[in-house]
Structure 1
């Protein structure tokens, strides 16, 4: 299993998403052609969005993997936020298209034919999407990839879409109320709109340098506290002005480390190096920038001129 987890890199998972999207598009298009169900048509339209999202996500993951350069000294990790935002926009566009088609069909109901084959194809595609989403969530947690998480959430939305469509077709078959097909399609589209908005919101927060998660900051503070206690007998060190941000898979913290003024530069630099190693061991993917200051020197960031 560990070997399989190592194989599930973001790029490989997104290539798998592209392949699955092509298969599900074919299955759902045939299902719509057989049944003439607007619900299945909406399902097929969302699979087209899945394909576009997976391709764009793959492009952004490749950009994010590029090493730092002169123009981007902190790396290209934020590219994954563009993938999430783009996917959210596509989801919203697809949802609006579904609502438009379903609203027209609501006043011009059409009979649904060959329900059995249509439902079988739709369920088969949902199983594929559900399995891939489970694997992508697992890989997203392992690699801290927002692009993978966004694609996985979209696939889960697709599964719920298919479930709603299957329910709608089943209700039409039992009740004979053809308008139920369009109503279910509209309900599914509203759910998709919500998912699209959440993806756009999360990507925007990442682009605005959101702070690290509370549990991660707690790990950072725990390491700092242990270092402060360990060196308390030799004059003491303390930390302040701790700031954090995250950019895709990478995490950053900036802080000041105050120490006795009579310490040599070599001793201070050695302690800083050990602290950086401890922080990076406690929080994978962390990059720490630590400024050394004597205990009696304070840094001021609240200059009134900077607040204007």
Structure 2
């Protein structure tokens, strides 16, 4: 039993480290992409950056959640942290949906093609490599810990990978084909996925009841 507990503690530590790496990288994503997106007028890049705030929020709340168990919190405390974390992530998703719609509609109204910036392209290409690695780490320790929240976060990270491809395609079509509308359309293609994740996170949060603490660990 002690060996199993030690093993779980080790996996909790590694899971926290993965989420810390995710938090740091997503903060970099937000700063670079939103700054470049605002400077160049790219709705897709701004929307992608805003979605990265959800990833950062998710990472921060999961660090808080996993640390609660690692530090010896009881089952009720663990479930309470899970519920709060899921609601925080859900709220962040809904805010991002609203922000993306605003940016995309503004772009359609102005009908101005965004400018080009290599910093924006660079962060997108870096993310194509980094996101799968982060998703693999989250899923690996989510599986070891039997943690739905970590697995859920891994799925969110892979959705971000898809969004990266969409944004790159939108920027490419705008710059090389002259299709000004490709950028806001790329931004709008992100909305259904963000909205779905918002709905799922809200539903999951409602299903967690700290007063009905289960005997088995669940993250």
Other-structure match for 1:80: 82
- Whose Rg is larger? 1
Which residues of 2 match residues 242-253 of structure 1 at below 5 A? 249=218
Cα deviation, 1:84-131, whole Å, max 9, x if unaligned, reads 332122112112211111111111122232255532321212322221
Cα deviation, 1:19-61, whole Å, max 9, x if unaligned, reads 1112222342354256431100111111222222222221222
**Structure number having the greater helix percentage:** 2
> Matched residues in 1 for 2:137 and 2:123: separation?
22
TM-score (norm 2): 0.80
Q: Kindly indicate whether residue 67 of structure 2 is the aligned counterpart of residue 62 of structure 1.
A: yes
Decide whether the 8 Å contact of 1:17 with 1:51 is kept in 2: yes
Going from structure 1 to structure 2, the CA distance change for 1:59 and 1:147 (only over 3 Å counts) comes to same
Decide whether the 8 Å contact of 1:157 with 1:195 is kept in 2: no
Where relative contact order (Cα < 8 A, 6+ residues apart) is larger, the structure is 2
Going from structure 1 to structure 2, the CA distance change for 1:194 and 1:209 (only over 3 Å counts) comes to farther
**Structure number having the greater strand percentage:** 1
Decide whether the 8 Å contact of 1:209 with 1:246 is kept in 2: no
Cα deviation, 1:236-291, whole Å, max 9, x if unaligned, reads xxxxxxxx9577528xxxxxxxxxxxxxxxxxxxxxxxxxxxxxxxxxxxxxxxxx
Cα deviation, 1:206-253, whole Å, max 9, x if unaligned, reads 43899xxxxxxxxxxxxxxxxxxxxxxxxxxxxxxxxx9577528xxx
Going from structure 1 to structure 2, the CA distance change for 1:91 and 1:32 (only over 3 Å counts) comes to same
Which residues of 2 match residues 194-209 of structure 1 at below 5 A? 194-207=196-209
> Matched residues in 2 for 1:82 and 1:181: separation?
35
Other-structure match for 2:111: 109
> Matched residues in 2 for 1:118 and 1:60: separation?
32
Going from structure 1 to structure 2, the CA distance change for 1:190 and 1:130 (only over 3 Å counts) comes to same
Other-structure match for 1:129: 131
Decide whether the 8 Å contact of 1:81 with 1:146 is kept in 2: no
Q: Which runs of 5+ in 1 are unaligned?
A: 211-243, 251-308
> Matched residues in 2 for 1:39 and 1:6: separation?
37
Structure 2 counterpart of 1:21, from 23, 26, 43: 26
Structure 2 counterpart of 1:89, from 85, 91, 94: 91
Decide whether the 8 Å contact of 2:11 with 2:144 is kept in 1: no
Other-structure match for 1:46: 51
Decide whether the 8 Å contact of 1:65 with 1:77 is kept in 2: no
Other-structure match for 1:271: none
Structure 2 counterpart of 1:37, from 37, 42, 46: 42
The aligned length equals 210
> Matched residues in 2 for 1:246 and 1:37: separation?
50
> Matched residues in 2 for 1:188 and 1:110: separation?
20
Q: CA deviation at 1:75?
A: 4.4
Other-structure match for 2:180: 178
Moved more, 201-210 or 119-128: 201-210
